[in-house]
Amino acid sequence: MNTCSKARRGRIGFRFVALGLVVSLLPLMGASLALAGATIPGTFPPLKAGKPYNGITITVPSQKGWASFKPAVDLTPKFEEMTGIKVNYDMIPGSEIPSKQLLEVSQGTGAYSVVQQHGISFGAFFRYLQPMDERIKEVWGSVEKFEDSFFPAQQGVKGKDGKHYFIPFHANVQIGYYRRALFEDAKEKAAFKAKHGYDLAPPTTIKQVEDIAAFFTRPAQNMYGLSANWGGGQGFGAFMHYYYAAGHDQLGADQRPTMKAGKGREDAVRIARWMQEAVYKQKFTNPDSVNFQTGQVSDYFLSGAAAMAFGWLSDYWIFMQNPENTKQVGPVGAFNFPSFTGSDSGGYSSWWMMGIPKDSKQPDAAWEYIKWVLNKSPQVEMAAGQLPPMKQLAYETAVKPGGVNPPALYDAFKASRILIQVPEMSQQPRTKGIDLYTALMANKLTPEQFVDEYAAEIDRTLERAGYYKK
Amino acid sequence: MTVAGMGTQNRIVAGILLALPAAYLVAFYAYPIAQLAYLSFRDVEPAYGTNDFVGLANFREIFAMPGGWGHILRSFLYTGICVSASFALGLAFALLTAAAEEAFPAQVSTLLRLIVVTPMIFIPAAAGVMWSFAYTEHYGWVNHLLALLGLPTYPWLVSGAAFYLVMLTDIWGWTPFMYLILLAGLQSLPREPLEAARVDGAGTWQSFWQVVLPMLRPVILIALTIKTLDTYRAFDYLWIMTQGGPGTSSTTLTIATYKTAFMELRLGQASAYGLATMIFPLAVVNLFLLLQQRRAA
């Protein structure tokens, strides 16, 4: 019995030790399990707590000298501190943003952990990116909830399979600016009313734009009525903005260019002619506008040489709100540039997005970074030069009192749409479109030639890509 | 000593020494050109994942596409005008400097040299920006001068004049190069033939045409070859000042190649452009070598 008891005691003892080990490890296992689902308090989209990717380095390409993304770059050490992920930025000149990243991902070099693309060049990237829907569901609960929290423009950047490959982090739209002091001057108001029969105020129709611009065009004072970003690619973008705001997309339901015939062509020709004549016939737009990018418009406007301006001016809004910078022109106001047809369909939206390449070596750490960029900080800091693509944040920064952006920006943006509807529109038709547009604005093409040749270029490209096969 | 007369060790060393430049040539010339040729026969567009053999279609498109011939003709026009004008101005300034050296104190020719050479200190990209700014309607000094004279101002770089204004900038930027080479050539000429011609009663023009110019021919040949090759491949001024526009009115072969490769992302078509672009420089280099050989013979 003694022998038996000894063996039994041994077995019981072993069981106690094992049980003790299990019991003592339980809190640890529980903690680990809890940690796996834990998030850093105060973050949304939530970042994972416990630094699961500590020590990983990710490479993020971005645009060199991009003022409105700078706050995110400046705040990156906070992200690094929270997550332990090291971010290495590769700053690329703006004109090379699509080609540099596309060459890397198409060659599968794994050089970039994420890609950063604009809504005019994203189409080429789908085949090289990971779908985001599962990650989206983890954060927002469902894809529908995710879509609902962003502006409708996000619908335009989904893949052909209906999945999301890009998460937007920066939005913008072109609007108008005006010199409040001029518009509120009693003498100017009286003179304007006497001439046109209605009150001088930010324009709500194209006819009013023309009246006001002509009224303030005063060569003797070296002042034009309107300055605009009508140079090169930005000018082509301005034309497309007016065309979209007139209620058209580039492609119809049959994937044919809408400006090929009918109302689309009629409106496109009208807009092109208006832009051309604003410079050369009506002469209320300064001739340099046909070579201006937004930064030059801003400089020109702030020098007092224009009463109104048009462009991606929210990039400069905060700068314009500083009285030190507006000594020559006084306070600056903003307005939603009127539609040529009275449509309220919105213009074309600038939509910067991030995606994770299939060859990304650190996709999960990259996802943490993307989520962080969408957080209230840095989005609020970035809002000084953009509109957050999430509706609620955009509302807070542009419409609520004390917001850093003008309400006109929110108004103009809410219905705006993505310019590129099928991937093939990103490169060749756009490049040719810019060439044609610059010829138009140098009076080397008629508005009809410009519109017809651009429509033909779209047709050619999409036909070649197999869109019109029966 | 012949190879046969070399020791084994020397032959190994010689082999290694020859292998290095051979490897360099393969890595940096043969392989890239072969790759360019390979791509030029394919439809390579990373955006759409295409990489198909298309034969000569990319080359046919260069001539068939709207404006294709325009790019080629513009390249030659740009080269012809810029090279001729830079050469003429460079030679004129070189002769002027040489004459000033004889007629005036040394400070005069030094000042002249300094003035003519100044554009060379600008990086072409910076000079391009500077001249773009000069031609703007509102801020540019060109229009400011026109306004002072009571003439209308104009955004010159978005007009039909843009291509010629870029040429003007190229001529401004490259005349010093021609000037320096030709001046060095002039200064190295022996003085005796010139003095003999003068003793024989030759006038200034006769001396220049019959004596100076023939003696200067080798230098002129080198200067023109270098300048022709460089101007034909010109990119910086054209891209910075007009980006090939307005429309395609200042698009040359090099601009078309860049746009096709990096804006349209059509690598096969861009390679065909690249290969076609190489024909003219090859012809110029061969012509230069031929003339050199004839001269040596």
Cα torsion B51, B52, B54, B57: sign: negative
**Contact call for residues A151 and A413 (beta carbons, < 8 A):** yes
Domain ranges of chain A: 57-171+350-413, 175-348+427-464
* pLDDT for res B198: 84
Residue-wise burial string across A281-309, b where 16 or more C-beta atoms lie within 10 A, e elsewhere: ebbbbbbbbbbbbbbbbbebbbebbbbbb
Does residue A221 sit at the B interface (CB-CB below 8 Å)?
Answer: no
Q: Is the CB of B246 less than 8 angstroms away from the CB of A439?
A: yes
Q: How far is B247 from chain A (nearest CA, A)?
A: 4
- C-alpha separations of B177 from B87, B184, B233 in Å: 9, 11, 16
- C-alpha separations of A346 from A208, B105, B251 in Å: 18, 72, 35
Which single residue is written with the structure tokens 């734009």? A209
**Contact call for residues B41 and B55 (beta carbons, < 8 A):** yes
* pLDDT for res A149: 95
Cα torsion A441, A443, A446, A450: sign: negative
Per the structure block, which two tokens stand in for A28?
Answer: 């640890």
* pLDDT for res B254: 95
Pick from B47, B138, B264: which is nearest to A431 by CB? B264
Q: State the Cα–Cα distance between residues A243 and A348, nearest whole angstrom.
A: 9
Mean pLDDT taken over chain B: 91
Q: How far is B97 from chain A (nearest CA, A)?
A: 40
B185 pLDDT above the threshold of 60: yes
Q: Is the CB of A287 less than 8 angstroms away from the CB of B246?
A: no
pLDDT digits (tens, 9 = 90+) for A351-396: 999 999 999 999 999 999 999 999 999 999 998 888 999 999 999 9
Q: What are the residue ranges of helices labelled H in A169-286?
A: 180-184, 186-196, 206-216, 232-245, 262-280
Query: How many A-B residue pairs are in contact by the CB < 8 A criterion?
Result: 92
Residues of chain A with pLDDT under 70: 1-37, 470
Q: Is the CB of A427 less than 8 angstroms away from the CB of B264?
A: yes
Which of A350, A351, A349, A355 is closest to A167 using CA atoms? Answer: A355
**Structural domains of chain B sorted by starting position, each given as residue range(s) with its CATH number in brackets:** 69-254+279-296 (1.10.3720.10)
Does residue B147 sit at the A interface (CB-CB below 8 Å)?
Answer: no
Taking CA–CA distances from A437, the nearest residue in chain B reads: B247
Q: Is the CB of A442 less than 8 angstroms away from the CB of B249?
A: yes
- Left if phi > 0, otherwise alpha if psi is -120 to 50, otherwise beta: which for A262? left
**Contact call for residues A170 and A378 (beta carbons, < 8 A):** no
Taking CA–CA distances from A280, the nearest residue in chain B reads: B154
The torsion angles phi and psi of A9, rounded to 5 degrees, stand at -60, -40
Amino acid at B171: I
- Left if phi > 0, otherwise alpha if psi is -120 to 50, otherwise beta: which for A71? alpha
* pLDDT for res B228: 95
**Contact call for residues B140 and B134 (beta carbons, < 8 A):** yes
Q: Between B213-232 and B68-103, two packed helices, what is the crossing angle to 10 degrees?
A: 140
Does residue A465 sit at the B interface (CB-CB below 8 Å)?
Answer: yes
Q: How far is A333 from chain B (nearest CA, A)?
A: 24
* pLDDT for res A8: 55
**Stronger pLDDT, A217 or B137, i.e. the higher one:** A217
Q: Is the CB of B48 less than 8 angstroms away from the CB of A465?
A: yes
* pLDDT for res A31: 45
Does residue B50 sit at the A interface (CB-CB below 8 Å)?
Answer: no
- C-alpha separations of B65 from A352, B57, B60 in Å: 33, 11, 8
Cα torsion A184, A188, A190, A195: sign: negative
Q: State the Cα–Cα distance between residues A365 and A59, nearest whole angstrom.
A: 10
* pLDDT for res B265: 86
pLDDT digits (tens, 9 = 90+) for B111-126: 999 999 999 999 999 9
* pLDDT for res B3: 56
Q: Is the CB of A288 less than 8 angstroms away from the CB of B136?
A: yes
Provide the 10 A C-beta neighbour count for residue A50. 16
Count the alpha carbons within 13 Å of B78 in the hemisphere toward its beta carbon: 30
Per the structure block, which two tokens stand in for B143?
Answer: 């229009």
DSSP character at residue B208: I
* pLDDT for res A5: 52
A175-348+427-464 has the same fold as A57-171+350-413: yes
In chain B, what residues touch A462 (CB-CB under 8 Å)?
A: none
Residue-wise burial string across A379-417, b where 16 or more C-beta atoms lie within 10 A, e elsewhere: bbbbbbbbbbbbbebbbbbbeeeebbbbbbbbbbbbbbb
Which of B121, B123, B94, B126 is closest to B109 using CA atoms? Answer: B94
Taking CA–CA distances from A106, the nearest residue in chain B reads: B46
Report domain A175-348+427-464's class: alpha beta
**Stronger pLDDT, B288 or A18, i.e. the higher one:** B288
Q: How far is A461 from chain B (nearest CA, A)?
A: 11
Q: Is the CB of B246 less than 8 angstroms away from the CB of A127?
A: no
pLDDT digits (tens, 9 = 90+) for B260-282: 998 888 999 999 999 999 999 99
Pick from A231, A288, A427: which is nearest to B138 by CB? A288
In chain B, what residues touch A286 (CB-CB under 8 Å)?
A: 137-138
Q: Is the CB of B137 less than 8 angstroms away from the CB of A431?
A: no
* pLDDT for res A4: 45
Contacts of A463 (CB under 8 A, 6+ apart): none
Q: Is the CB of B263 less than 8 angstroms away from the CB of A99?
A: yes
Which single residue is written with the structure tokens 């994203």? A122
Which single residue is written with the structure tokens 């040529």? A340
Which single residue is written with the structure tokens 């954060």? A139
Cis amide prior to A131 (ω within 30 degrees): no
Taking CA–CA distances from B46, the nearest residue in chain A reads: A106
Q: How far is A36 from chain B (nearest CA, A)?
A: 38
Contacts of A208 (CB under 8 A, 6+ apart): A198, A338
Strand, coil or helix: what is A322?
coil
B232 pLDDT above the threshold of 80: yes
Q: State the Cα–Cα distance between residues A391 and A149, nearest whole angstrom.
A: 6
Pick from B162, B243, B251: which is nearest to A232 by CB? B243
* pLDDT for res A299: 92
Provide the 10 A C-beta neighbour count for residue A322. 9
Q: In CATH, what is the architecture of A57-171+350-413?
A: 3-Layer(aba) Sandwich (3.40)
Query: In a 10 Å sphere around its CB, with 0-12 CB exposed, 13-18 middle and 19+ buried, how is residue A29 labelled?
Result: exposed
Q: How confident is the model at residue B296 (pLDDT cuts 50, 70, 90)?
A: confident
* pLDDT for res B38: 96
* pLDDT for res B64: 86
Please state, for a pLDDT cut of 90, what percent of chain B lies above it.
64
Strands B42-45 and B50-53: what pairing? antiparallel
Q: How far is B140 from chain A (nearest CA, A)?
A: 10
* pLDDT for res A24: 53
Does residue A313 sit at the B interface (CB-CB below 8 Å)?
Answer: no
Beta strand segments in B121-242, E: none
Does residue A365 sit at the B interface (CB-CB below 8 Å)?
Answer: no
Q: Is the CB of A444 less than 8 angstroms away from the CB of B154?
A: no
